[in-house]
A and B are shown apart, each in its own frame.
Chain A
């Protein structure tokens, strides 16, 4: 078990949901695969998917929904399998 922090590679606005009415992509305690989407970053009028990068369990979010993010900033902590 190791902690993996998913980092933003783009500046913009972080979203935890695909649309305002939808359920979040993932919540704390959910299990994810490396290819699962954990959020979106909005930049240049487009939404860019953020992948978990590792298989494991979502431990915590480091940014609020609709929070501003910068490249290199931690978004989600995942405890890898």
Chain B
């Protein structure tokens, strides 16, 4: 068990791949935005890669441990300290009962991950401990953690202190505020014309501050997007604007064209609606959405579904004990 001394900014319990299997009933998967860093945090402390751990957003929490355990912090650099002493990211540490782990604001990236040996053991809901704030389910009491809460954890005796993630297995954050993020075509890429697709893929899109775990709003040349004939001359049930389509299911990661504003539908996003999704961010590119900050620039790179799946398999291989060595 650990106690929340200070919650940070919307710090929440997540697991991976989250609440899968209820999309048809409107429940999103939730789970960590940066599943690469998340899984490695778990692996470092001896947990399974998908076990429940904490996702910290922009400003991390302060926790006090009530038993001897092992912790690791990964992802963006939230300047973690144990009892006032700085610790390294991508490394597991033994902590004693009574010690505190304190994170500050993210100097790099946007999200940090804290894994604890034995993993967080709150009550699962529909098969997952992932927090879905909007519906108030999962996690601890259905929302971000709060100061004063006691968070249950499992048996820490299998914890693996003093391990590090080899540098080649760590995600690399750009130093120039520019991100190249993989996308796959579809489901509605054919609603843009050729020039529209080119504009979409060649533009700089700036991440808006009006972005959260539901959707990432992008600022850019949306008004220059051009549409295929089927988007313009269509049956009335599709709606009047070129980006309107009769209500359809949305893939998680879909880049939703709401009018002329692209919004990437992320981990707590909607399951359906009446806008087109010309491109989708696949699992393999998704971790980057967890680390890009408002004001930073995204450029999309189209890859095939086969390539996206190959990259996702590669990432799963990396998120394992293969990537650890003793410190």
Residue numbers of A with Cβ under 8 A of B are: 9-13, 42-45, 48, 68-72
Given contacts A12-B294, A13-B294, A43-B294, list 17 more A-B pairs with CB under 8 A: A9-B59, A10-B59, A11-B295, A12-B209, A42-B209, A43-B58, A43-B209, A44-B57, A44-B209, A44-B211, A45-B209, A45-B210, A48-B9, A68-B295, A70-B295, A71-B106, A72-B107
The docked-state distance in angstroms from the alpha carbon of A71 to that of B209 is: 14
Interface hits, B210-253 → A, CB 8 Å: 210-213
Q: B77 to nearest A CB, angstroms?
A: 10
The answer, yes or no, to whether B35 is at the interface (CB within 8 Å) is: no
Give CA–CA (A5, B72) in the complex, Å. 33
Question: Please, which residues of chain B bring their CB within 8 A of the CB of A44?
Answer: 9-10, 57-58, 209, 211-213
**Chain B interface, >50% SS class:** loop
Contact yes or no, B295 A12, CB < 8 A: yes
Is B16's beta carbon under 8 Å from chain A?
Answer: no
Number of interface residues of B (CB under 8 A): 17
| B295 adjacent to A10 (CB under 8 Å) | no
How far is A13 from B294 in the complex, measured between Cα atoms in Å? 8
Chain B residues with Cβ below 8 Å from A43 are 9, 58, 209, 294
Provide 25 A-B residue pairs closer than 8 Å at the C-beta atoms, listed in order of the A residue: A10-B9, A11-B106, A11-B294, A11-B295, A12-B209, A12-B295, A13-B209, A13-B295, A42-B210, A43-B9, A43-B58, A43-B209, A43-B294, A44-B10, A44-B57, A44-B209, A44-B211, A44-B213, A45-B209, A45-B211, A48-B9, A68-B295, A70-B293, A71-B105, A72-B107
Contact with A along B101-143 (1 / 0, CB 8 A): 0000111001000000000000000000000000000000000
Chain A residue contacts of B10, Cβ below 8 A: 44
